[in-house]
Structure 1
Amino acid sequence: MIQTNVSPTLDGLFRRILARKPDALALLDPLNKPRVTGHTPRRLTYADADRAITALSAHFIEAGLPNNSVVAIQLPNTVEFVLTVLAAHRAGLVVALLPLLWRQAELTVALNRIGARAIVTAAKIDGISHADLAMNAAADAFSIRHVCGFGSDLPEGMASLDDAIETQSTTGRAVTPDGRRAAMISFDVTADGFRPVPRTHLSLIAAGLALSLESNIPQGSALMSAFAPTSFAGLTSSLAIWLLTAGALALHHPFDGEILAHQINEQSCETLIAPAQLTLRLGEIDMDSRLPSLRHVLALWRAPEQVASSPAWSGGPAALTDVYLFGEAGLFGARRAADGTPAPILPGLHGAPRDVSGSSIAGEILLTSRGTLGLRGPMVTTAAYAPLPPAGDSLSTPPPRDYVDTDYSARLDRTTGAISITSPPNGIMAVGGYRFLAQDLQEWARRLGPGALLTALPDRLSGHRLAGRARDNARAREALSELGLNPLMVEAFRDRPQVS
């Protein structure tokens, strides 16, 4: 029975669709799943998905995870990710999203910071034993009480979630659907350091509404998500939009261009959600003939300062919406003009959709006194980004701030009044979806001894790329792996061919 006198949750949205069309197609795995996890791709109706969600929720409850405890998830872009998130919410748990490139060092810090009670992963992802990574990180995180995973050959002590789905237990508990409760935790890096960013169901739904309405995605649309889900933007642009549009969600684990095109055509996907660099490459092909079903493209920009200088969109009948991402602080979307050029971003309130008078307020864009871009609105968690208290013995604290300073430098165009985002935050290096403090790179290089250098170089596609130099690159890679650092840092010390 669906309660209508409470604010909506993600699982509540799923149950409403389930009640209307249980036999409709809901979730589709990547076609390259056998390479990613070694498993056969799955196609689930809403009824199939509901049975799996119920069984996984029962497993979490039977494992003794208390209501409102945190379960950390490190999974690829497959149906298991979506099922696990909704199952955790059905069990009254909060989901923490762990990026796939994180290894033991980052995992341990994150798990201890949020007091996670459980961790969910897969046996292997792209050939890497994430099950072993999870077990090692759990050993260093004193709050972890339950480790579970999908796949075969799981380590001793790790519970099988495939077995849980097959068991089909229906154990449940009373959970009041309340959109104001915490739904997820993601992780950001700011000038003040590493910080968890919690969000409620309503925050996620607000962001999903802003994007789906701005890009004009119709109800029942077949969606293709090729964006890693382990962030606020990733979860919003896939799971939240899917639940709001009540269509089918096809997933692609990045990236294989031929397989992605085949998936889009096989499912007649009308909407593609992908990193901006990938979508702009699609605009260079004959989309009318190669991807005839596409009508809506959401380009997610991890480096939003690059939107203004990007080429005009020439994707035929498919309309492009630029989605500006500011780490985990917030986002907004702007559909491109008829000529394919980026839409001007004006300060002040913006609706959902952005340019329709009288629409619901999606948020507000502002310039701070520091000459940086600020965000406020229903999707923005100001408390997570509150400035640190002043040092010293003073008992006075600054007044609370009702916006988040993204630290992206910005200015007003005197002619148009539009905001121009000019540069990313100082001291923060972004490599794709991963952010580091520049001082952290220097610290890790120092651990390798004299003569070692680790730095971030500007990169048009990903923001930055890492480059390393050591007296012995092979030994440097081995040392960084033993320290539990992610592959971005390890592979920065790869041997490069000599130029004659």
Structure 2
Amino acid sequence: MNQIAASPTLDVLFQRILARTPDALALIDPLNKQRITGQAPRSLTYAEADREISALAAHFAEAGLPSHSVIAVQLPNTVEFMLTVLAAHRAGLVVALLPQLWRQAELVASLNRTSARAIVTASKIDGVLHSDIAMNAAAEVFSIRHVCGFGGDLPEGMASLDVAMAGDATPTRHVIQDGRKAAIISFDMTADGFRAVPRPHFSVIAGGLAVSLESDVPQDATVMSAFAPSSFAGLAASMVTWLLSGGTLVLHHPFDGEVLEQQINAHRCDTLIAPAQLALRLDELDVAACLPSLRNVIGLWRAPEQVTSSAAWTARQASMTDVYLFGEAGLFGARRGEDGAPGAIKPGPHGAPRDSAGSTVAGEILLTPKGTLGLRGPMVTPAAYAPPPPPSDLLTAQPPRDYVDTEYAARIDRQSGAICITAPPSGIMTVGGYRFLAQDLQEWSKRLGQGALLTALPDRLSGHRLAGRAQDNARAREALAELGLNPLMVEAFRDRTAPA
């Protein structure tokens, strides 16, 4: 086993658990994985997962990927995602997280932005041939040297990771485990445009600590994750929470309510990580009767301005923790009290657990001079969000900021002293976990000819929903698909007069 570093990496966290309980269950696939990827669901102990991680790491090294190079990953919420991320880190690589709904246009932009050397995907996800999409995107990116995937019927030229994972190879490359090294790159949209946001291991772990300690996830927990891991928040809340607890991570590919309930009960999950709106819907049911093993619910809010107006949590058997997400900039959590109402968020350092004496400082919340919410702390990477330097003399240039402006409008409540988040960033549309510039929607609709319209309408659950209108909706869908746009834009032009 690699020498344990003072500042651990994600792989070091995994290896610590491996040394303690090698035969304990580590990862469990979604029950409906056969439908999602065409492969049978699997469950792995820590020892079994370690062997497959080593085999994948050896494959990446033998493929000629240099240390510190970027490997892009677009996979569903299955064990292969977790194994690939840990294997990449064991091989000394940096993982670029690609959302599943991204298609060729977004893939090419992100691969070029990060100078990625390889891309990992699945043959198909939910019936979509992601292997073909990845091959087409790789053909447009000069830096890509290796394309690989899981599943059958991979296109010619794509290496099979199932074959690589079945071997007993171990990586020969020596990698120094240092938490200060780059671990992941995620992608965000701000008023200044598309941004790649790199983070070292300690920053990713800090995000997971903020979630797991605030929600009081116990050691050896059985954690159900129903939140896509293809973002900083998704990875920190699922993978890091699992590694910090040293228990079992059960994966659910969003979303099938009946399957989710079956998984929670079959594996006796005590912790659920899910979109907050889904968690509150579960609360409308009889949680004690339907999900008797559940004790902790962690609800992630992609639209944090909606938290204070949300319904109270009523289930007494399980606690509820609200996790506020601000794109890829950062997050913080607040556990709900006995009354079930969202906790007050006050400016200043926030600890884990919150408001307890001697707590570990997870970050700092502040109000910027612009009247927006700012974040500071170990999980935040200000350099990735730094505004361009002004075209002026260097002697008059302002020092770099040590915080990130999330661009969410906020104010201080005079009576309670709490921060109230009042509005999302101006000019940015959020559809679930996907953020677009409003002006980009207008540009795409212009390509469809005169009379075409693509707009974002307010939506209580997802922030916004896309709606489109064209003289011929079917041709508009085909045109957008040919441009390589994701299904959110393509399906905005679906025929709403057709029977369901």
Give the alignment's TM-score, normalised by structure 2.
0.98
Aligned to 1:52: 52
* RMSD of aligned alpha carbons: 1.1
Kept in 1, the 8 Å contact 2:228–2:234? The answer is: yes
1:4 is displaced (CA, Å) by 3.6
**Amino acid in structure 1 at the alignment position of 2:146:** H
Aligned counterparts, 1:453-472, within 5 A: 453-472=453-472
CA contact (8 A) 2:8 2:179 kept: yes
Q: Would you say 1:268 and 2:268 are equivalent positions?
A: yes
Per-residue CA distance 1:384-427 (angstroms, 9 max, x = gap) = 00011224787743211000000000000000000000000000
Structure 2 gap ranges (5+): none
Residue equivalent to 1:149: 149
**How far 1:6 moved relative to its partner?**
3.1
Cα distance between partner residues in 1 of 2:330 and 2:402: 14
Aligned-pair CA distance for 1:354: 1.2
Query: Residue 385 of structure 2 corresponds to which residue in structure 1?
Result: 385
Give distance in 2, aligned partners of 1:360 and 1:462.
32
Indicate if the aligned counterparts of 1:374 and 1:404 stay in contact, CA closer than 8 A.
yes
- Report matched runs for 1:145-224 at 5 Å: 145-224=145-224
> Residue 4 of structure 2 contacts residue 12 of structure 2 at CA under 8 Å; is this kept in 1?
no
Preserved contact between residue 2 and residue 177 of structure 2 (Cα < 8 Å): no
Aligned length: 499
Percent sequence identity is 73
SS at match of 2:422: strand
Q: Which residue of 1 aligns with 2:486?
A: 486
Tell me the SS of whatever aligns to 2:298.
strand
Counterpart Cα distance in 1 of 2:447 and 2:223? 45
- The AA in structure 1 aligned to 2:250 is A
The answer to whether residue 55 in structure 2 is matched with residue 69 in structure 1 is no
Q: Could you tell me whether the CA contact under 8 Å between 1:207 and 1:379 is conserved in 2?
A: yes
SS in 1 for 2:332: strand
1:405 match: secondary structure: strand
Give the SS at the match of 1:351.
strand
CA shift for structure 1 position 3: 2.2
Q: Is the 8 A contact 1:6 1:177 kept in 2?
A: no
1:229 aligns with 2:240: no
**1:74-473 equivalences in 2 (<5 Å):** 74-391=74-391, 396-473=396-473
Per the alignment, residue 33 of structure 2 pairs with: 33
SS of equivalent residue, structure 2 residue 99? coil
Name the residue aligned to 2:476. 476
Give the distance between the partners of 2:149 and 2:191, measured in 1 at CA: 34
- The CA deviation at 1:317 is 1.1
Quickly say closer, same or farther: Cα 1:125–1:349, change in 2 above 3 A. same
Amino acid at match of 2:474: A
The structural deviation recorded for 1:207 is 1.1
* Separation (CA, whole Å) in 1 of partners of 2:458 and 2:278: 19
Shift of 1:48: 0.5
- Which segments of 5 or more consecutive residues in structure 1 lack a partner in the other structure? none
Task: Determine if contact 2:5/2:177 at 8 Å carries over to the other structure.
Answer: no
Query: 1:330-367: CA deviations, max 9, x gaps?
Result: 00000001110000000001111112121111000000
Q: Distance in 2 between matches of 1:119 and 1:474?
A: 32
Partners of 2:68 and 2:93 within 8 A in 1: yes
Question: Structure 1, residues 296-316: CA drift from partner, whole Å, max 9, x if none?
Answer: 000000000000000000122
In structure 2, C-alpha distance between the alignment counterparts of 1:338 and 1:259, rounded to whole Å: 30
Contact 1:91 1:172 in 2 (8 A): no
Displacement after TM superposition at 1:180 (Å): 0.2
d(CA) in 2 for partners of 1:229 and 1:38?
20
2:76 & 2:335 partners in 1: Cα distance?
29
What is the letter of the counterpart of residue 399 of structure 1? Answer: P
Cα deviation per residue 1:425-478 (whole Å; 9 max; x = unaligned)? 000000000000000000000111110000000000000000000000001000
1:166, CA displacement in angstroms? 1.3
Please tell me the residue identity of whatever aligns with 1:452.
A
- Paired with 2:280 and 2:33, the residues of 1 have a C-alpha distance of 25
For structure 1, which segment, 397-406 or 92-101, has the greater mean C-alpha deviation from structure 2 after superposition? 397-406
TM-fit CA distance, 1:5: 4.5
- The Cα of 1:172 is off from its aligned counterpart by 2.2
Counterparts of 2:5 and 2:429, CA distance in 1: 45
Provide the C-alpha distance between the structure 2 equivalents of 1:76 and 1:403, rounded to a whole number of angstroms. 32
Partner AA of 2:224 in structure 1 = M
Is residue 2:46 matched to residue 1:20?
Answer: no
> What's the TM-score once normalised by structure 1's chain length?
0.98
Question: d(CA) in 2 for partners of 1:393 and 1:155?
Answer: 54
Contact 1:468–1:493 (8 Å) recurs in 2: yes
For 1:266 and 1:5, locate their aligned partners in 2 and report how far apart those are by CA, in whole Å. 37
